[in-house]
Structure 1
Amino acid sequence: MDQFRGQARLPKSAIPKRYDIRLKPDLTACTFAGFVAIDIDIVGNTNFIVLNAADLFINSASVSYSSSSKVLQPVKVELVEADEILVLEFAETLPNGIGVLDIVFDGVLNDKMKGFYRSTYELNGEKKNMAVTQFEPADARRCFPCWDEPACKATFKITLDVPAELVALSNMPVIEEKVNGDLKTVSYQETPIMSTYLVAVVVGLFDYVEDHTSDGVKVRVYCQVGKTKQGKFALHVAVKTLELYKGYFAVPYALPSWI
């Protein structure tokens, strides 16, 4: 595994195509549990998969292929914190083509304002925690194992398990929300192809103000409960900016009409 240490870039033997990510933050313990299934294209002869990970605890990993029933388990799993990489070594050469890399992991909602971190707000004089992401430029690796380089673009399917009374936000509109007792599972539409640093997740108790552009794109600004007045200027600027960009670039807003 020493060949991967101290390298500026990840090896190109595996290319990510799609991420299916599920996160369950615990806002009391300030931890989170996670699972990611990554569709990868193995394009070189290798028995290693190397991707980015930092401040995570890896519980299990495996690679499977739809063309066969074979599931490959790594013989060695090493998280190299100095280089923020996760190295999976397999006993045999990985078959070329599309496979699925499954990883189960845990993490900490840190107080460093990067990765998947905790922030606070007050409600009726009581301090509450919320979970927030900040991945730019290279901190998605602190939330889920990934190819955390801007050129390694893919699509992202996000699912969140959160307390039922809280608001859960991500890049795309909600397609399904199921409540099961004190928890709810929120699933979002799959994103367009994009870099890892653009993935976003926010979990907390929020109000919002809402408006629409002249061509019907819904725009919301979320804020602390009881402070919607403080979001009105940001909402006004966001609506006008979308309309300006549409005219300047001669390109309509490309995502579903919800942000």
Structure 2
Amino acid sequence: MADAPPASGSQFRRVLLKISGEALMGDQGYGLHPPTVERIANEVKKVHDLGVEICMVIGGGNIFRGLQGSAQGMERTTADYMGMLATVMNALAMQAALEALGVFTRTISAIPMDQVCEPYIRRRAVRHLEKKRVCIFAAGTGNPYFTTDTAATLRANEMKCEAIFKGTQVDGVYDSDPKTNPDAKFFSRISYDEVLTRNLRVMDASAIALARENSLPIIVFSLNAPGGLAGVVQGEGKFTTVSTLASDQKGAA
């Protein structure tokens, strides 16, 4: 990665945004909700306009989830490949929304499908980021038995990102579900080991371990707060940082 200073107003030069497929379905129970996709694309554009190089990984659970298919009797490998294809559909939808906003975007798939997107070649993807194009990494790692959380951590390390931003339905990491427990305690900072020990499900265990091995911070924030992503990238708003440092527990807001 180039040694240029961080983008204006941001402490980061290059980041990866990880969101679930469910984040794209809005209030629907399934599929894509175009206004929601457009809203998230606008959030990404705001970060891009700061001069931050940004890449994305989007899950596929709004269309098909491999584990659920496997639980219903489908062979696990086949189910996981179907889930990977769902992530490609979501990536193409996000690419279309970003390009409608004037943001040059590349969908890059771990499973070659040259007619619809680029194959994953690390050096080419790095070059896209250097040229200020948004890269959306699709099809997970290209292998069954690995989640998109693990794929996001892998790609963030390969792209030399300085942090993973995990967009969720809540504004950080709590010791229990704040939607059902009003006394849930909020962590402004927590260690990888504590996330694993407490089984807090920030990301799956493989992703947390990979981030820990490479000292890659994971920043958990609410995807629903307007302007939230750009604010968090600039160190503003409410969020949790998962890193090697000890936890800093605060009372729930």
Same fold (TM over 0.5): no
Higher relative contact order (CA 8 A, sep 6+): 2
> By percentage of residues, which structure has more helix?
2
Larger radius of gyration: 1
State TM-score, norm by structure 2. Answer: 0.29
State TM-score, norm by structure 1. Answer: 0.28
